[in-house]
Amino acid sequence: MEFEYDLGLNVLQRMLSKGLLSLLCDELECMSYNVNLDLVLRFFDKYPNLKKVSIWSNTEKTTYSQRNLNKLTNLIEEKRIIFYHVPENINSIHAKIYVFKKDSHIKFLAIGSPNLSDHSNQNFESIIYIQDETDSKSIWNEIPKIFRDLNIFPNNSPPIQLHSSGFDENEMNLKFLEGLWEHQKAALNWLATKRFSIVNIPPGTGKTEIAFRYLQYLFEEDQELTSIVLVPTLTLIDQWKERLERVSISNSEMGTTLGELSAYFADPGHHVLVTLYSRFFDKYRDYQKKAKILKPNVLLILDECHNTYGHLNDLLNFRELIESFGGKVYCIGLSATIDSFREQEVTDFIDLMGGKENRFEISLQSFYTHWNNLNSTSVLKPIRYRPTKYFLSDKEMDEYREYSKKIAIEMSKKTIAGKNDGSAAVNRARWLRGLQGGIASLENYIIAHMDSFSDRSTIIFVQTNEIAERLQRFIIRQPGWSPEASIYIYDSTKDKDYLSYALNQFRKNLGFCLISEKMLSEGFDLPKVDQIILYGSDRSPRDWIQKVGRAMRFDKRDPNSIADIIDIVFCDNNGKTLSMEIERYECLTAIGQTG
């Protein structure tokens, strides 16, 4: 049996191009667990040679957009779309098989993991192509026999319970989608029927704009609606208020007391309160006392929503009390990554927001391979990835294994003695980045590439202020460091005047290097960052996504610019990337240029 093999992202699209574009097949038969009919409809628009699509699937797993119902109905009536479906409670069809025909002859059969859904192009999938027509017929013709043997008789009429995939009569009005990138439009159309949601997309791709349009959409739908925007920094308060002012939406800042909000409480409808998470969790009970009288509907916008961790019970209490007064609560969480070393926090937050189906997620890898190419100009810069590997010694590997054992023990406690607090994983990460050999590898890279600091803006992310101060002393002593350049440490313990001065220097200087022992990725308006050096995690295994995002934003003034990502990657004593490092290493390798 002859076959070819393909794996990676966009496997489904490559298969369709092979069959419907290169080979000009006129018929597609498929068996798939999830089927999106909007995608099938696009086949007929994109491939004029296509005459018929036959679909074997579960009734409940067939979705479509209400706006396309008439077009789909016409194709079904013309028998250009034909169904063979069974309810999921009778049989779940998990096989994914695709047969491409031309003039009634099979050109090839494909078996693999992708469903007939756009999401499959964004996931890592695999597929096998069988070229021989006889072999293909033998496989495909077995399916009806298997169904008969199991006393399963697929229904040929259109599925009765087609479930909308998020677009229905309440679909987002087109005026709220004007001027947006394609992924933002997709997110907003998905949001149109959601009360609770998480928008989890890469940094620099416009999460705030999605929430802002969602706010405007709900304000038009609900005259009684008020909104509270929660942010982690004072800078983000100013940014939100400025944006609201530009479109004349009434807004106020909730400070440490509610005494200055008399105008808001006189008429909260279509008025936005912007405040810090810390202030809200301190004062939300006072807000509820007034809400008991006003009975408003409330939209909560959680900007950088991972800041809610540790306060999920407060959020739940707030929601339940508003609803007990007869109000309706909407809630949208925004973040580039909701990950945490304390895995239970993530699980609890997703559950609070209504489960996994209420999470709109685009990974960094799928954004670069799919969404970034759908617009006239790129959303994110190209990445040049420069990993620098540090091999642990035999003694260090023994210590690493001991830390890993503690993590395994802690993980097992989730089902024995309560929740896993993630402390073992945090301790391992801190120990690893504190190794002197790893720091020396970082310093060696800096020495070898000192010229790259002379005319570029750089952020070095480290784990502790101690490492930051060591690097600062090390860099300024190097003969290649320009005395006209600047280097600062972002230290969260310093006063605001110091931080403001450091950030202003960053904005106006080339050859500026800022060393951060904290995230420095939420609410800091740094217009141009050329390179990022990764050395350490602050709050989660995936906070590196937030960090690299500082350099990835597309620069219209310099459209050919590239984001340099320098990464100190830890490996075992045989040179194999450590398991805790491999996701970051493989993702950045996949989406980045090397060299």
Q: Are residues 347 and 451 in the same domain?
A: no
> pLDDT digits over 296-334, tens only?
899 999 999 999 998 999 999 999 888 888 888 999 999
**Amino acid at site 211:** A
Assess whether 477 and 568 both reside in one domain. Answer: yes
Q: Residue ranges of the alpha helices (H) in 108-181?
A: 118-122, 133-149
Q: Tell me which residue has tokens 């989890």.
A: 200
Task: Give the residue-averaged pLDDT of 1-26.
Answer: 88
Q: How far apart are alpha carbons 487 and 39 in whole angstroms?
A: 51
Query: Token pair of 190, please?
Result: 């998905």
Would residue 215 count as lying in a domain?
A: yes
CATH number at residue 313: 3.40.50.300
What pLDDT does 386 receive?
94
- Position 378 in a domain: no
Last residue of a domain, one of 164, 190, 205: 164
Q: Is residue 22 part of a domain?
A: yes
Q: In this structure, are 143 and 193 located in the same domain? A: no
Whether residue 141 is found in the same domain as residue 221: no
Share of the chain above pLDDT 70, in %: 90
Residue-number span of the structural domain to which 574 is assigned: 383-594
Do 322 and 411 reside in the same domain of the chain?
A: no
Of the three residues 318, 353, 373, the one that is the final residue of a domain is: 373
Do residues 310 and 438 both lie within one domain? no
The answer as to whether 169 is a domain residue is no
Domain boundary among 143, 164, 185: 164
Domain assignment present for residue 485? The answer is: yes
Do 191 and 62 lie in one domain? The reply is: no
Is residue 267 situated within a structural domain? yes
| Same domain for 391 and 358 | no
Count up the domains in the chain and report the number. Answer: 3
**CA gap 572, 390 in Å, rounded:** 8
Specify if 56 maps to a domain: yes
Q: Is residue 581 part of a domain?
A: yes
Kindly report the backbone phi and psi dihedral angles of residue 75, in degrees, each rounded to the nearest multiple of 5, phi listed first: -65, -35
Question: Is the same domain home to 286 and 262?
Answer: yes
Q: Model confidence over 48-71: pLDDT tens digits?
A: 899 999 998 887 778 777 677 788
The 3-state DSSP class for residue 387 equals strand
Read off the pLDDT of residues 452-503 as tens digits, 9 standing for 90 and up.
Answer: 887 788 899 998 888 989 999 999 999 888 877 788 887 666 666 666 777 7
Q: Structure tokens of 227?
A: 């909104």
Candidates 34, 78, 15, 82; CA nearest to 54 is 82
Joined together, the tokens standing for residue 252 give 């106020």
Q: How far apart are CA 174 and CA 172, in angstroms?
A: 6
- Specify whether 53 is located in the same domain as 34: yes
| pLDDT at residue number 160 | 46
Helix, strand, coil: what percent of the chain each, to 5?
45, 25, 35
Check whether residue 158 and residue 181 sit in a common domain: no
Closest CA relative to residue 569, chosen from 543, 535, 541, 546: 535
User: Which CATH number fits the domain that encloses residue 134?
Assistant: 3.30.870.10
Do 338 and 396 belong to one domain? Answer: no
Residue located via tokens 């609803």: 323
